[in-house]
Amino acid sequence: MSHGLPLRATFDRAADTYQDARPDYPPDLYADLLAATALEPPAHLLEVGCGPGKATLPLARMGFRITAIELGDALAARAREHLAGFPGVSVITSSFEEWGPPAGARFDLLYAATAWKWVDPEVKYAKAARLLAEGGHLAVWNADHAFPAGFDPFFTEIQKVYDELGEGDGNPWPPPPPEEQPDPMAAEIEASGQFTVTGTKLYVWALRYTAEEYIALLDTFSGHIAMDPDTKEHLYREIRRLLAARPDGRITRHWSAVLTVARCAG
């Protein structure tokens, strides 16, 4: 199992705030996903790690049938609430690794939004390939912190606090801008031998946050959820202090997402 798998259970503790705190994915991403896969409603989709339904709702509203798998009890409950108006959508509480699909089940698309990295690499690609119909697709994307040219200097200031607290990642600062980052999933997908990558696309956008909005966002990240309470209290105090010195009390955080689409190799 991947060394990161135990952390994936922490997200359930953020079930009540995740939907509002996390950003929506860009509308263009969904349009590009459908163009790349030639999918139309009512095709049957399988979502891995749906959380409270962040990436489920936009596709449900288009009329797709969706089977959504979610590890966390509380997150799955929130997803059912958010998706209650869509009879073609079902939410199943399980890990993808342990889920037993109905006999003969086949899906036109398997997708994962900010979730695929948490699934055991020894299981996920072979199982995904078995569950897809002939010509079916795999699509994955994340929402990551981006640092384009001219990013908000707040993040350089707060990075010093992370480092002082022993919570830095040890990588050079600042990170490369998003257009210089390699596709995080394409090489892994190709290496599985189960899929052929047919396209990737980068999306970058920016959102404004108050101190409390930004802290609510951080409380949905596994590293912050699992952080020592005293350490977290110190970090959040510094965030409030730095933003209190700004006239509008806000920061600009850039986001990036890379959509990677692949077709079954078999």
Q: What is the pLDDT of residues 159-170, one digit of tens each?
A: 999 999 999 988
Instruction: Give exposure, 65-96, as e/b (b: 16+ Cβ within 10 Å).
Output: bbbbbbbbebbbbbbbebbeebeebebebebb
Q: Which residues pair with 17 in a beta bridge?
A: none
Residue 109 maps to a domain: yes
Region of 193 (left: φ > 0; alpha: ψ -120 to 50; beta: rest) is: left
E strands present in the chain? 44-48, 65-70, 89-93, 107-113, 132-141, 144-146, 195-210, 250-264
For the entire predicted model, the pTM comes to 0.93
- Number of CB atoms found within 10 A of residue 257's CB: 21
Question: Tens digit of pLDDT for each residue in 98-109?
Answer: 999 999 899 999
CB distance 48 to 116 below 8 Å: yes
Residue 23 maps to a domain: yes
Q: Which domain holds residue 100?
A: 5-146+176-206+253-264
Residue 234 maps to a domain: no
Residue 228: band (very low, low, confident or very high) from pLDDT cuts 50, 70, 90: very high
Question: Tens digit of pLDDT for each residue in 174-199?
Answer: 999 999 988 879 999 999 999 999 99
Residue 101 maps to a domain: yes
Q: What gap in Å lies between CA 243 and CA 235, rounded to an integer?
A: 13
Residue 123 maps to a domain: yes
**CATH code where residue 46 lies:** 3.40.50.150
Residue 121 maps to a domain: yes
- Number of CB atoms found within 10 A of residue 147's CB: 20
Per the structure, how many domains does the chain have? 1
Residue 94 maps to a domain: yes
Residue 5: band (very low, low, confident or very high) from pLDDT cuts 50, 70, 90: very low
Residue 162 maps to a domain: no
Residue 6: band (very low, low, confident or very high) from pLDDT cuts 50, 70, 90: low
CB distance 82 to 57 below 8 Å: yes
